[in-house]
Amino acid sequence: MKIDLKSLSVDELNELKKSVAVELELRQHGERQKLFDEFRERARALGVTTAELMATVTGKRKGPKSVGVAKFANPADKSQTWTGKGKRPRWVHDALNAGKTLDDLKI
């Protein structure tokens, strides 16, 4: 089907433009939905959860983080530990301010 655009008025062209935009949006939505359905089906066939699939796409993990291995312990309370990653606990700051080194706090 070929439309002679030169024969259409400005109003008719604007109406056509709106109609094309609506049809494009509907078709793109349908194509996206079809793609999502294919991904879900393929993931289901491989035993991949939706959360795992999304984590690979977004780079964000869903579910519990691994805690890591403690490398340092509070000399005053051995139940307080730190992996050496992330923000230093208050007891580490206090020990360093008291003249201890991180080597002194190693487990």
Q: Tens digits of per-residue pLDDT, 74-107?
A: 988 999 999 998 899 999 999 999 999 999 999 9
| pLDDT mean over 54-83 | 82
CA distances from 65 to 41, 71, 79, 84 (A): 27, 18, 20, 16
pLDDT of residue 68: 81
Instruction: Judge if 54 and 17 occupy the same domain.
Output: yes
Instruction: Judge if 89 and 49 occupy the same domain.
Output: no
Instruction: Judge if 45 and 83 occupy the same domain.
Output: no
**Alpha-carbon span 16 to 76, nearest angstrom:** 77
Instruction: Judge if 77 and 52 occupy the same domain.
Output: no
Better-scored residue on pLDDT, 61 or 16 = 16
Instruction: Judge if 52 and 76 occupy the same domain.
Output: no
Instruction: Judge if 84 and 51 occupy the same domain.
Output: no
DSSP-assigned letters across all residues of 76-98 = TEEEEEE-S-SSPPHHHHHHHHT
Task: Decide if 92 is inside a domain.
Answer: yes
Q: Which domain holds residue 86?
A: 72-105
| Domain count within the chain | 2
**Alpha-carbon span 49 to 52, nearest angstrom:** 5
Q: Where are the beta strands (DSSP E) in the chain?
A: 72-74, 77-82
Task: Decide if 3 is inside a domain.
Answer: no
Instruction: Judge if 21 and 47 occupy the same domain.
Output: yes
Q: Tens digits of per-residue pLDDT, 1-56?
A: 789 999 999 999 999 999 999 999 999 999 999 998 998 899 889 998 888 878 88
